[in-house]
Each structure stands twice: as structure tokens, then as C-alpha cells.
Amino acid sequence: MDKIIKFFTKIGELKTMPRRGWVIRDIKNPESIAEHTFRAAIMVWVLADSRKRNLNMEKLLKMALIHDLCEVYAGDTTPYDSILPKDKKKRRELLKTWPRFSEAEKKGLAAAKYKKEKAGLEKLIKDLSPKLRNEIRSLWLDYEKGLSPEGRFFKHTDRIESFLQAAEYWKTYKNLPQKPYWIQARELHDDPILLEFIEQINKEFHKNIKPKT
């Protein structure tokens, strides 16, 4: 039982770990990783239900709950990390754009992130029962690699949770660049229901004022 308590205590740290994407953008008291996980789980439940598709809800919800557990050890990362300038002015300029990399850089960054997060997950779950350990690992791999319809659907919903949060922060921080989020959304999402949801976010948040950057 002490190993279980240790596991719960460790994942409890996610309640106070701020998401790095907001930290580098100077958002005050940004959401934590656990807060992101909470809403991503509710979102995937509601959105998967609304699409009347035959998705395994138990699998989706478990996947949502565990998808960022690895960050307890691996930490949160952003696509900007490898090129983020220390100078605040340069940093603000960079954050107005979506970062672009060569094919080799993309492969290298993705492989390094995967390796770091996989190691973090293994360290976290090592004392759980083999059954739980394998279930968590399989769910995480499914999410990471999009191995099933559930894995692919949740991976996109996870990004849309962040996208919605960016739009919400923009209501308070009008200088928070929105363009990178929109570029990412337009290049990433291809699920008709999620694309429609993105359009609804656009209408809801930008009906009076459109973001300039």
C-alpha cells in the first residue's frame, strides 16, 4: 500500500505544476497540468458522445486521465523550447509565430520528447501491479502514436483543450498571440466534428473583436 500512496502523492504534484506554454507567455497563475487534464477528460467525454461514433468511452476517459502523468518526471514541454531566446523581447517576437523546423530537426525533437516522456512514465508506474502498469503504458502509447480511433480522437481533443484555454486567456491578455494556435489548429485537425467545434470557438470568442496577432 505504501507504493500506491507514493504513486498518488507523486501524481498529486501535477495539481501545482504550471503548464509551460503559459509560463513562457508570462500568464499569471497559469493553469496546472492537472487542471488541463480535468477539462480534457470532460471534453473528450462530451465531444465523443456528441459525434455518435462507436468509441470506447472507458478507454477514452482513462487515456485522458493518464496522458500527461509522465510529466511528473519528464516535465512539460513546448515546441518552442529548443529555440526559446532568453531575451524577453526576442521571446515575445518568437511566440507570435508557429515554430518551423527542418525535417531532421522535427524527427530529432519528436524522438527526444518521446524518449524523455516514456522514461518518465516508466519511472512513475514501476511499482504498480503488472496489470495496471501495462494498462497505463498501453493507453499512453495509444495516445502518443494514435494507434486506435480513441487514441487519435483524444490526441486531437487534448490539443483543442489547450486551444480553448488560449482563447480564454486572450480575453484577459489581449497581447497573447493567437496566430500560432490557429496555424497549429488548421494544420493539425482533420476530424469534422472537432473542426466544427473550432469554428464555434472562433464565433464565440471573436464575434466582437478579432485578434490581431
Q: Is the dihedral of CA 16, 17, 22, 27 positive or negative?
A: positive
Least Å from the CB of residue 193 to another protein:
12
CA dist list (Å): 195 to 18, 156, 163, 182, 204: 28, 10, 12, 12, 14
Secondary structure tally for the chain: helices H, strands E: 11, 0
Look at residue 18 and give its three-state secondary structure: strand
**Residues at the site binding another protein, with contacts judged by CB under 8 A:** 53-54, 56, 79, 97-98, 100-103, 106-107, 109-110, 130-131, 134-135, 137-139, 141-142, 145-149, 152, 178-179, 182-184, 186-190, 195, 199, 202, 206, 210-213
Q: Which helix (H) or strand (E) holds 39?
A: helix 33-50
Least Å from the CB of residue 29 to another protein:
27
Running DSSP on this structure, what letter comes out for residue 83? G
Nearer to another protein, 38 or 149 (CB): 149
Nearer to another protein, 75 or 211 (CB): 211
Nearer to another protein, 100 or 126 (CB): 100
Least Å from the CB of residue 187 to another protein:
5
Nearer to another protein, 38 or 184 (CB): 184
- State how far Cα 56 lies from the chain centre: 21
Least Å from the CB of residue 117 to another protein:
13
Look at residue 162 and give its three-state secondary structure: helix
Least Å from the CB of residue 213 to another protein:
7
Least Å from the CB of residue 160 to another protein:
13
Which residue do the cell numbers 502509447 mark? Answer: 141
Nearer to another protein, 2 or 58 (CB): 58
Nearer to another protein, 38 or 101 (CB): 101
Q: Is the dihedral of CA 71, 76, 79, 80 positive or negative?
A: negative
